[in-house]
Amino acid sequence: MTVKLDLTNSGIEKKIESIKEKSFGALDKLLSKTGEGNDFLGWIDLPENYNKEEYDRIKKSAEKIKKDSEVLVVIGIGGSYLGTKAVENAIKPYFGKLDGVELIYAGHHLSSTYMVELLDYLKDKDYSLNVISKSGTTTEPAVAFRFLKEAIEKKYGKEESVKRIYVTTDKEKGALKGLANEVGYESFVVPDDVGGRFSVLTAVGLLPLAAAGVNIDELMEGARLGRKKYTTKNFEDNIALQYATAREVLYDENKAIEILVSYEEKMRYLAEWWKQLFGESEGKDGKGIFPASTIFTTDLHSMGQMIQDGVRNIFETVISIENPEKNLNINEEEANLDGLNYIAGKSVDYVNKKAMEGTVVAHVKGGVPNIKIEIDKLDEKNLGELLYFFEITVAVSGYLLEVNPFNQPGVEEYKTQMFKLLGKPGY
């Protein structure tokens, strides 16, 4: 198994049995498409039933982007960029990039300073744009696209810029789709039945990831493996179902905050994607587990005190990577001024793992239940499976909470108030 679940330190293994049947009901509701939000379930079969013609165009466009450009600017917010950044950040080297283009993100906030500095950075670069928006009118990416479209047309001229702008949007309607049809941009589809936070395995994520040099075939293969494993109705074999059930038991015990923990910095944006996935899916009707994240051991020196001794309304889900991509041993020094000779000959990853094990013991003793998710190594196949694992989990969790996991009505309220203050017509 490439992804494993360990509930040994959760303290609720026996209690899971009491609501196992409820979890089966939630999974049945999901797979039979009889629950709320059932018109947004295209992601379930996506690893198998994706558009093969579009997938080939994605690969061809990615190769063209690599030839044309040093940089691809990905314009989008929320699900239109977080999944992409999660995978890219986990796969690429810390210092450098893969064998594709550099990915830069825009339209995910409204910082004027960021936009000015981005436009300045791009002046001496060959670049392309990938604007991602279902409607084409979402404020943050729409503002960014205005500036970047003007800049790329000024740099290359309108005719050449058309060949450097890639649009991922609705299949038939919307402002961005209309513009793509009118001008002739290469266009890809955000499927009608796949919500933004579930869209990383569509053109939304696959085009920029392929352009960056990520092996999207392996990513999809991992997701296919996940679909096979996590849609089974055998509770003992379905660890996504077990995880969702464990979360429900802990929630019933007033554990209202879940901290996703990793001991690998490359997982930082996977956690950011996870927070959107679970926050938007569960946080409704006064319900939901609040998703937070930390990178240990770094955050043990800032958040560790609160986690160890603070309010006991939290639990942790730790993602452990069994085999690091790279490793090195600690050498012995004669002077031993730093006092580290007691771990001489041990690898850095060994020390990291012992820090993880020690922290779990300490936090469990402090009243913080721990769930452990282990993956074999950090590569495309494992990531594809892990993404699908979390998607199934959050869908089942939403139905266990008796909310619609596939809408986000609360997100619209800030937009309404912002538009009123900006004086937008109709508000």
Cis peptide before 297 (omega within 30 of 0): yes
Distance CA 283, CA 319 (A): 23
Q: Per the residue annotation, which of 14, 301, 326, 365 is the catalytic one?
A: 301
Cα distances from 173 to residues 161, 169, 180, 184, in angstroms, run: 23, 9, 11, 15
DSSP string, 403-417: S-TT--TTHHHHHHH
Exposed, middle or buried: residue 336 (CB in 10 Å: 0-12, 13-18, 19+)?
A: exposed
| Active site (annotated) includes residue 415 | yes
- By C-alpha distance, which of 180, 179, 200, 175 is closest to 190? 200
CB neighbour burial string for 176-197, b if at least 16 within 10 angstroms, e if fewer: bbebbeeeebbbbbbbeebbbb
> Distance from first CA to last CA of the chain, Å, rounded?
53
Distance CA 131, CA 109 (A): 14
| Active site (annotated) includes residue 280 | yes
Q: Per the residue annotation, which of 140, 280, 282, 385 is the catalytic one?
A: 280
The helix (H) or strand (E) run that includes residue 380 is: helix 380-401
Residues 301, 282 contacting (CB under 8 angstroms): no
CA angle at 84 for the pair 222 and 352, rounded to the nearest 5°: 70
Residue matched to tokens 């909310």: 403
3-class secondary structure for 345-363? CCEHHHHHHHHHHHHHHHH
Residues noted as catalytic:
280, 301, 415
